[in-house]
Amino acid sequence: MKKPGTRHKARKRAVDLLFEAEAKNVSPVDLVAERRELVRSDESIGVVAEYTERIVAGVTADGPQIDAVLTSHLKEWTLPRLPAVDRAILRLAAWELFNTPDVPPVVVVDEAVELAKELSTDESPAFVNGVLGRMVHLAPQVRAAAAAQPRGETRDTSD
């Protein structure tokens, strides 16, 4: 088995933080800030990697859109019925699919499946792969639209 890379570890920590924040009903961004503060006095907490923070901030900022896309790609399931860890993995992967042009979509899906193998049930890897497999075709269009939009400008959706 190959040794997990830095980004894999950052993704796993992001899933842990997203899961914990949902369980505690707190903001994931606030939880990251709390951990960054705690690590100053207790190194056993572990430093929160920049990529972890980027994922958590992105998933939090884009939460309603991510959940809407996920919901539209679930078959015979609803988002609230999913195990919380699977929700966290799918949210992370959806955010990465649409917002990280430096990570190929196939890598995003593979990483999410690997996280499901490590953190969830025996059925979860196939489920995560199926949901993301139905979503992956959207990534190029979303990434292209984001790249075409001038920096600092937001889309006007008030028609």
pLDDT in tens, the chain (159 residues): 455 689 999 999 999 999 999 999 999 999 999 999 998 888 888 889 999 999 999 999 999 999 999 999 999 999 999 999 999 999 999 999 999 999 999 999 999 999 999 999 999 999 999 999 999 999 998 888 888 887 655 544 444
Domains and CATH numbers, the chain: 6-148 (1.10.940.10)
Structure tokens at 114: 């690997």
What pTM, to 2 d.p., does this model score? 0.89
Amino acid (1-letter code) at residue 42: D
User: What pLDDT is attached to residue 157?
Assistant: 42
Structure tokens at 97: 């699919």
Please give the pLDDT value at position 1.
46
- Give the single-character DSSP code of 101: T
Instruction: Give the integer Cα–Cα distance in Å for 7 and 14.
Output: 10
Which pair of tokens denotes residue 103? 């990570």
Amino acid (1-letter code) at residue 154: T
- Looking at residue 46, its pLDDT comes to 87
Give residue 149's pLDDT: 80
Max CA separation in the chain (angstroms): 52
Distance (Å) of CA 15 to CA 41, 139, 158: 24, 21, 33
Written as six digits, the tokens of 51 are 């990529």
